[in-house]
Amino acid sequence: METIRISDALNVDVAPDGTVYGIELLNANEQLQEGDDAMLVVINEAVGERQQIPLTRT
């Protein structure tokens, strides 16, 4: 496993075969507080898929 630092707020964990294993939001509370209808959007450019995941507060 290799962790690639994208910015002060984001790391991406990559498996030895090059696949993304994890995404770390280092200040998630700040990044994910956009409102009651906030969505996390995941785009898989390799296959052209887009998925929206609603975010809920606990």
What are the extents of the domains in the chain?
2-54
Q: Maximum Cα–Cα distance for the chain, whole Å?
A: 38
Q: What is the pLDDT of residues 3-46, one digit of tens each?
A: 999 999 999 999 999 999 999 989 877 777 656 677 888 889 88
Give the three-class secondary structure for 50.
Answer: strand
The torsion angles phi and psi of 29, rounded to 5 degrees, stand at -60, -40
pLDDT at 37: 75
pLDDT at 58: 59
The three-point CA angle 55-7-43 to 5° equals: 45
- pTM surpassing 0.85? no
pLDDT at 31: 74
The DSSP code for 57 is: -
